[in-house]
Structure 1
Amino acid sequence: MEASGAHPAVFAPVSTEGRVDAVVRRLTDAIALGLLADGEQLPSESELAGLLGVSTVTLREALVALRQRGLLVTRRGRGGGSFVRAPAEPEIGERLRAFAADELRDLGDHYTAIAGAAAMLAARRALPADVEPLWRSLREMADTDSPARLRRLDGRFHVEVAAASQSARLTREEIRLQADIGPLLWLPYDEPGGHDEATAQHRAIAAAIADGDPGRARELAERHVLDAIERLIELRLRLVGP
């Protein structure tokens, strides 16, 4: 599998506090979003520890925790190492029930700010090589009708927009938000005609970034998130009530 444009953010140094937990969270989020693909081999322990800015002891503790969660498998011997094991798809309806409508709106406000800033900076800073992952994700979305794969590709697209902003902090925040609510945001688009509408919005965002139009890119990204949040709140109220 071709590396995602978000890989540098996945393997960037973690925060100095609670480093084992930070490594576990970073890699768990990346696996959940498909940024680290099922079966993908992680860098060696020494290389990965260096990339994440942690000691090998800290890294090994984190890898043990990930293996216990069933997200990694370690193979010994020649050709061995740590390999990603993608989790089973969560029951999206149950995840939606865990959020109150006001929580979704609050998350949406925060996510709108992040997505808008990332798209604006991507339009200012991205080179053609930074934009190509966006088009690749859109091509892959057009070639599948699997709801689970569409959700993962939607998340990957938004992380790649953040990666194109050249801001490691924005990209890490986008990864965190996608892991929290990303799969839910695609849920309303599973309704008839939703896929085409979402694809049109994605293409417009990518085109604004490619054209170097920061204001348009920000406006489109913010509108896309706000529209998804409003639809999601309506869906939640319809499914589970206030």
Structure 2
Amino acid sequence: MGSIPGAFKDDHEMGFRLIGFGYFLAGIIIILAIIIAEAVYPGYHVTQYISDLGAPSLSPHPCIFNISIIIYGFIVFLVSLFFLLQNRSSGSGNRCSSTNSKTISFIFIMISGICAIGVGAINEDLGVAHTLCAAFTFIFGILAAFFSGFWVKIPYNVISAIIAVFSFIALLFLVAEIDLGIGLGGIERMVAYPLILWEMGLGGYLMNEGKAMVLKEQPEQSDKNFIL
């Protein structure tokens, strides 16, 4: 029966921690950017769409939001890609459902990050393309949260599932233009904020569980002569 070499195992563990740090940092950046962009936008109210903060025709400082969400999306994309490359280079051949769900989750997060870059690069004034980027950012974020529920530990798997369902329902209300008295901007925040908080929570989870995740995969891999 094989085993994971100590140095490589340490590198793999550090990889999980760096990925977690990236997600957490990205969440902090976009939340602070939204707060600052709202503060310098005279008369702005949370009942307005978030993307209004990046529209040159509406916001006096659209670059605050647009540049920040591009940075956010790039970080999310980069660390997700890092996980997929690390997972591939580890020689993982495990086909158990938790491993597959983990890979699917990171693919969806990566796509969500790419779409977030599009939200900033194609501002609200440019119309349908921006709307599609925003919609796919939400959709793939929801899917990522849902599939993460199959591999993260209790209680975060339950939290992930609740957030995925909550954001999905809120997205349906947003598409149907049902504002429930909090404006469509408020409904949009019911989609976006839980997903951002989930992503930050996932970042904390990965930073804390990096070693445990490596050790958990060791017996399954060594039985098949794979090395993480």
Q: TM-score, normalised by structure 1?
A: 0.32
Q: Which has the larger radius of gyration?
A: 2
Larger relative helix fraction = 2
Bigger RCO of structures 1 and 2 (CA < 8 A, at least 6 apart): 2
